[in-house]
Amino acid sequence: GQNKNNIVAINKEHKPWPYPTLLRYEEFYKHQKILSSKNYLFYCDADMLFVSKIGDEILGERVATIHPGFLGGRGTPETRQISTAFISPQEEMEYYAGGFNGGTSKEFLTMSKIISKNINIDLGNNIIALWHDESHLNRYFVDHNPTIILSPSYCYPENWKLPYKKRL
């Protein structure tokens, strides 16, 4: 909706880098009461812009976006076994971007709970995964395959030239 009355702002305490990104799933889970009243939940980076129509093609249980930098490759998963985000070279994977993802509110909140639990285990062991929350998101999607995989259209870096329509 275009109605500004549809917007609910939830303030959060500022923390130094990388905690604002790392603890995003904890933040979502903390607000599960208000978030679970919606059918679907999507996360989108604050510096992204919607430049083409995005419609119901993105609606699914678990929705991931292929990272524009690592199409068809394994990307930059966490490779240290001590982290709960560890992905072994033997495991099949595709590298997804942290910047846009979502799903049904039930699935998204379950994902938020598991990822924040894993991140807190890591913090207890003095570990921050290589690409913070994105590393954990990728671990999660190895264990719980996305039901919709969006192309880099939905995470298109402004000045790049990719063979995809610019949507986000």
Interacting span for ligand GAL (CB under 6 A) from 30-38, 67-75, 116-124, 160-168:
67-75
Interacting span for ligand GAL (CB under 6 A) from 24-32, 55-63, 68-76, 146-154:
68-76
* Site size for ligand GAL (CB under 6 A): 7
61 part of the active site: no
For position 78 contacting ligand GAL by CB under 6 A, the verdict is no
For position 20 contacting ligand GAL by CB under 6 A, the verdict is no
For position 134 contacting ligand GAL by CB under 6 A, the verdict is yes
For position 69 contacting ligand GAL by CB under 6 A, the verdict is yes
Strands 148-150 and 62-65: parallel
- Tokens 């679907």 belong to which residue? 40
Nearest to 92 by CA among 82, 77, 104, 107: 77
Q: Exactly one of 26, 57, 134, 158 is catalytic; which is it? A: 134
Do 22 and 132 touch, CB atoms closer than 8 A? yes
Six-digit token string for 80:
């240290």
Site string for ligand GAL, 95-114 (x = CB under 6 A): --x-----------------
**In this chain, which residue has its C-beta nearest to ligand GAL?**
76
Phi first, then psi, for residue 44 (nearest 5°) are -145, 135
What is the side-by-side order of every strand in the sheet holding 100-104?
40-44, 100-104, 62-65, 148-150
Six-digit token string for 69:
């930098």
Question: In angstroms, what is the minimal distance from the CB of 56 to ligand GAL?
Answer: 27
What angle (nearest 5°) sits at the alpha carbon of residue 51, between those of residues 46 and 54? 90
Query: Which one of 31, 61, 76, 148 is in contact with ligand GAL (CB under 6 A)?
Result: 76
As annotated, the active-site residues are: 134
